[in-house]
A and B are shown apart, each in its own frame.
Chain A
Amino acid sequence: MNKTLGEIGHDQAVEIVAISSHCGRAGRLAALGFLPGCRVRVSRVAPLGDPISIEMAGQEISVRRAEADLIEVKEVA
């Protein structure tokens, strides 16, 4: 069972499986490089639990969990 990026714990590395939504917000994430096959890591969580910061291909992008939930991921070893 795949999880969403919003459910992934701190410092865990995952691989993006799919952008699981057809809404416009998913397109914005894709434009920043959140694409299937891409490896990402939840590098930081804000003190109040949201948003989270994602490390991806050397860049650091912060998204709210609500948006991160649009991205389907699987765990990688």
Chain B
Amino acid sequence: MSVAIETPARVVRIALLGNPNTGKSTLFNRLTGLRQHIANYPGITVEKKVGDMELGGRKVELVDLPGTYSLAAASPDERVVMDALGGRAGHEPPDLIVCVVDATNIKRNLLLVSEAAELEIPMVVALNQWDAAQRNGLRIDTGLLADRLGVPVVTTVAKRGDGMDELKKAIQHTLGEPRFIPRILWPDFVDEARDIVLNGLEQLGVEATRPEALRMIFDTDSAFADRAGHKEQVPGILRAARARITANGMNPASVEPVLHYRHLEALLDGVVSGDGMVARTRDSIDALLLHRVWGTLIFFGVMSVVFQSLYAWAGPVMDLIEAATAWVQGLISPLFEGMPMVQSLVSDGIIAGVGGVVVFLPQILLLFFFIALLEDTGYLARAAFLMDKLFGWCGLNGKSFVPLLSGYACAIPGVMAARTLEDPKARITTILMTPFMSCSARLPVYVLLIGAFVEPLHGPIVAGWTLFAMHFVGAAVAMPLAWIMNRCILKLKAQPFILEMPDYRVPALRNVVIRMWERGREFLIRAGTIILAFSVIIWALLYFPRPAAVADQAREAFIAAHASEPGLAAALEDPESELSLKLDHRIQGAYIEQSYLGQFGKFAQPVFDPAGFDWKITVGVLSSFPAREVIIATLGIIYNLGADVDEGSDDLRSILARETWHDGPRAGQPVYTLPVVFALMVFFALCMQCGATVAVVARELNWSWAIGSFVAMTAIAWVAAVLIYQIGSRL
């Protein structure tokens, strides 16, 4: 038996190109299965999906390019499709393009294909959603279409997997025997305009391809012209080129689509016949779902199910994960008996950290289950249509609703859900505003403080309204902030909000599951590792330096204070006795005070003094930067109640109410006055005290955005807390 040793041939690359809503990603999932991974294109926020496919016993690489209606590029994000096809800016050019064309809307879909033909790369056309075209009564002569295009045309139904073998065969055949779609024949004035640009750029020493030169002319705000630099000369060159087009009676902004559509009209003559039935079905469903009253009610119904699932249904699973974390801690801890530092690192740092990552998974999976469902049925576009007006004024758009709503349960899935926004400017703004929404981890803080201070003074009704109002503090700050960001900070060009209302379709379960799996894995690998690192760092700051003398002093002080109690020595012998527990809590409190974070809290207290926070609150605030809900446990430890208190604890509430300033100008006065309580709650409402959110924002955008928004939110929270305390205590 001989073993054939193949020389490692160059990887064959295939790109998937197509409009949004053509089933392109479904086709990608069909061809690659789970052998895919997601990365970001360098420098921009567009995600790059790459997968492997078997082709005639050989592995080829498949790239799913972002869905787009045209190669026009006003931003670096949009430039990526053309760069990927042209092998520019560090991309490897594909050996073949699979053009995914929606069979129910061939002409519009072919515009992009016709534009891409300029690049002279072999192509295969997949006429997808063939079943829908047939159902709609469209008759398409695929043989004639293939003749006219000069490349293989394969009919597919990616959702069901129909036509995949034929598509693979056509790809393999075309790789061996390249076939091209002929370029459009431009009128002379376009060729002249293009030569003006190419010659002008050559004199400046700028390298540009012929298709890029065309894009610079056709796209009013061209990202290719931006890249060419020479901001003094290039606009003049483009003006001269566009003047050539205007002189021939055409609008440079629309000349390209006009000529392409004219070309396609001739090309499709006799290819498609029959009238689409789909418009009527779509129309009657839209009449209900986009109805002023019923449509709005259904929208709120659908969204409340999504929200309820994140807020309530995910709860039991999250509790289970937390219980499992505790169980594993209990199981592992004894293995490190006698090594308290290692024991604490493994138990409180690593296992708690892993648990703190996995605990987000139920919400992420649930949200992406719903998003896949809403997107694939076509409802997400309708939801965006209904809500757009509410968000448009501050630079967000209708698609911001789902991420922001999810943010009320948890910012992590919310930030990830912003992937559904195509417009980079609106997407960045949505991501940065989502952490302002009042997530469920803020609730314990509100419940503790309102229960301890508002309810006893003003009764349960005022307390209830206060809790309700606290949920809108973040949103009330976020929306004007989004407006300011859009005007002054984000230098990206505004994109029009153009939304295609796709036909209603039954979603494919396989696709939904792949989407959930892909997002969950993404989160665990990319964000999870960072969250775990945060967890270990904070553990170290709370654990070290831990001199033994601290425990001894706390013990002596405790014994001295309880010397009068009978049977003290015996009680302390018994680790289960009440006094022993109290002593343990006292020692924990002493350790946290002596830890690096405790020392830093005392050191940093003057920073928070204008907001009325004493050093204990400051340590609580600082320790909850990795996860805001931690403040309850930290306060429990600081006030010598141990870490097991919850927001309903009467002990904690009464201790807070009794707490007074020990020294300074306010000595003897209570620490927790109403202005302090509200300053603290508003601080929690506005501050990004969540390491996981920072990590996910960094993953979705980049580290500068993540750190920038962290700093900005902390600053805003501090200013708001100081204002509330200063004004409140003078009233």
Give the B-binding residues of A (Cβ under 8 A): 18-19, 21-33, 35-36, 43-44, 46-51, 53, 55, 57-64, 66-67
**Chain A minimum-CB-distance residue to B299:** A47
Q: Which of A47, A57, A61 contacts B500 (CB 8 A)?
A: A61
Chain A residues with Cβ under 8 A from B447's Cβ?
Answer: none
* Contact (Cβ within 8 A) A27 B498: no
Most chain A beta-carbon neighbours within 10 Å: one of B72, B219, B257, B286? B257
Determine whether B34 belongs to the interface, using a CB cutoff of 8 Å to chain A: no
Give the dominant DSSP class at A's interface: mixed
Q: Which of A27, A33, A58, A62 contacts B253 (CB 8 A)?
A: A27
CB distance from B501 to the nearest CB of A (A): 4
* Contact (Cβ within 8 A) A62 B385: yes
Chain A residues with Cβ under 8 A from B286's Cβ?
Answer: 43-44, 53, 60
Of B41-49, B289-297, B538-546, the one contacting chain A is B289-297
* Contact (Cβ within 8 A) A31 B500: no
User: Considering the chains assembled together, what is the distance between the CA atoms of A19 and B220 in angstroms?
Assistant: 14
With A44-B286, A58-B278, A58-B279 known to touch, is A28 a contact of B388 (CB < 8 Å)?
Answer: no
Chain A residues with Cβ under 8 A from B256's Cβ?
Answer: 27, 30-31
**Chain A minimum-CB-distance residue to B384:** A62
* Contact (Cβ within 8 A) A51 B389: yes
CB distance from B251 to the nearest CB of A (A): 6
CB distance from A41 to the nearest CB of B (A): 11
User: Considering the chains assembled together, what is the distance between the CA atoms of A27 and B261 in angstroms?
Assistant: 13
With A48-B390, A50-B389 known to touch, is A27 a contact of B218 (CB < 8 Å)?
Answer: yes
CB distance from A62 to the nearest CB of B (A): 4
Chain B residues with Cβ under 8 A from A53's Cβ?
Answer: 286, 290, 385, 501
With A24-B219, A51-B499, A61-B499 known to touch, is A43 a contact of B390 (CB < 8 Å)?
Answer: no
* Contact (Cβ within 8 A) B258 A23: no
Q: Which of B252, B282, B292, B501 contacts A62 (CB 8 A)?
A: B501
User: Considering the chains assembled together, what is the distance between the CA atoms of A63 and B392 in angstroms?
Assistant: 12
Of B103-111, B351-359, B482-490, B604-612, the one contacting chain A is B103-111
Most chain B beta-carbon neighbours within 10 Å: one of A35, A44, A49, A63? A44
* Contact (Cβ within 8 A) A30 B258: yes
Chain A residues with Cβ under 8 A from B219's Cβ?
Answer: 24, 27
Chain B residues with Cβ under 8 A from A30's Cβ?
Answer: 253-254, 256-258
User: Considering the chains assembled together, what is the distance between the CA atoms of A10 and B461 in angstroms?
Assistant: 46
Determine whether B276 belongs to the interface, using a CB cutoff of 8 Å to chain A: yes
CB distance from B391 to the nearest CB of A (A): 11
CB distance from A60 to the nearest CB of B (A): 4
* Contact (Cβ within 8 A) B69 A63: no
With A26-B253, A27-B256, A48-B390 known to touch, is A62 a contact of B381 (CB < 8 Å)?
Answer: yes
User: Considering the chains assembled together, what is the distance between the CA atoms of A27 and B74 in angstroms?
Assistant: 11
CB distance from B521 to the nearest CB of A (A): 33
- CB neighbors of A among B246-292 (8 A): 251-254, 256-258, 261, 275-276, 278-279, 282-283, 286, 290, 292
CB distance from A27 to the nearest CB of B (A): 4
With A19-B251, A22-B220, A43-B283 known to touch, is A64 a contact of B392 (CB < 8 Å)?
Answer: yes
User: Considering the chains assembled together, what is the distance between the CA atoms of A67 and B11 in angstroms?
Assistant: 44
**Chain A minimum-CB-distance residue to B260:** A31
Q: Which of B254, B385, B390 contacts A27 (CB 8 A)?
A: B254
Chain A residues with Cβ under 8 A from B251's Cβ?
Answer: 18-19, 22, 26
Determine whether B70 belongs to the interface, using a CB cutoff of 8 Å to chain A: yes
- CB neighbors of A among B461-501 (8 A): 493, 495-501
* Contact (Cβ within 8 A) A47 B253: no
CB distance from A67 to the nearest CB of B (A): 5
Interchain residue pairs with CB less than 8 A apart (14): A24-B221, A25-B495, A27-B218, A30-B256, A31-B257, A43-B283, A44-B286, A44-B385, A47-B292, A53-B286, A60-B501, A61-B500, A63-B499, A67-B497
* Contact (Cβ within 8 A) B496 A29: yes
User: Considering the chains assembled together, what is the distance between the CA atoms of A61 and B497 in angstroms?
Assistant: 10
* Contact (Cβ within 8 A) A22 B252: yes
User: Considering the chains assembled together, what is the distance between the CA atoms of A57 and B490 in angstroms?
Assistant: 36
User: Considering the chains assembled together, what is the distance between the CA atoms of A25 and B385 in angstroms?
Assistant: 19
* Contact (Cβ within 8 A) A24 B220: yes
The 3 A-B pairs of least Cβ separation, nearest first, read: A48-B389, A24-B220, A30-B254
Chain B residues with Cβ under 8 A from A32's Cβ?
Answer: 69, 108, 498, 500
Chain A residues with Cβ under 8 A from B498's Cβ?
Answer: 28-29, 32, 61-63, 67
* Contact (Cβ within 8 A) A35 B257: yes
**Chain A minimum-CB-distance residue to B388:** A51
CB distance from A45 to the nearest CB of B (A): 9
Determine whether B508 belongs to the interface, using a CB cutoff of 8 Å to chain A: no
* Contact (Cβ within 8 A) B501 A61: yes
With A47-B386, A61-B498 known to touch, is A22 a contact of B283 (CB < 8 Å)?
Answer: no
* Contact (Cβ within 8 A) A64 B497: yes
CB distance from A61 to the nearest CB of B (A): 6
Most chain B beta-carbon neighbours within 10 Å: one of A26, A43, A59, A67? A59
Most chain A beta-carbon neighbours within 10 Å: one of B111, B398, B501? B501
User: Considering the chains assembled together, what is the distance between the CA atoms of A55 and B500 in angstroms?
Assistant: 10
